[in-house]
Amino acid sequence: MDFVYDYMFHLLSEYANLLKFEPTIPPGAFEVCSETMACLEGNKFWKLKNFMVESMVKCPRDTLPCTMPPPL
């Protein structure tokens, strides 16, 4: 168990070397930031605005990062 992180890092690094994916920005794409959200025109981007509002973090978590919820 002492070398699990070393093994996983090695495994993921070697796997990443096999990938040939090169990210590209599609035509017509635009950057979304807080200023963009404040200036949305009418209902033009209502799906985007609804998604951003629904996924917004409203308060910090009260549990530790590694705490698992109890089983059902």
- Residues 9-50: pLDDT tens digits? 999 999 988 888 888 999 988 777 777 666 666 656 677 777
Cα separation, 50 vs 35, in Å, equals 16
Record the pTM: 0.33
Whole-angstrom CA distances from 67 to 55, 61, 70, 72 are 22, 11, 9, 15
Q: What is the domain partition of the chain in residue ranges?
A: 30-58
Question: Phi, psi at residue 14, to the nearest 5°?
Answer: -65, -40
Whole-angstrom CA distances from 53 to 18, 31, 49, 50, 64 are 38, 17, 6, 5, 25
**What average pLDDT does this structure show over 43-60?**
75
What the block records as the tokens of 2 is 């002492």
Does residue 71 have a pLDDT over 80?
no
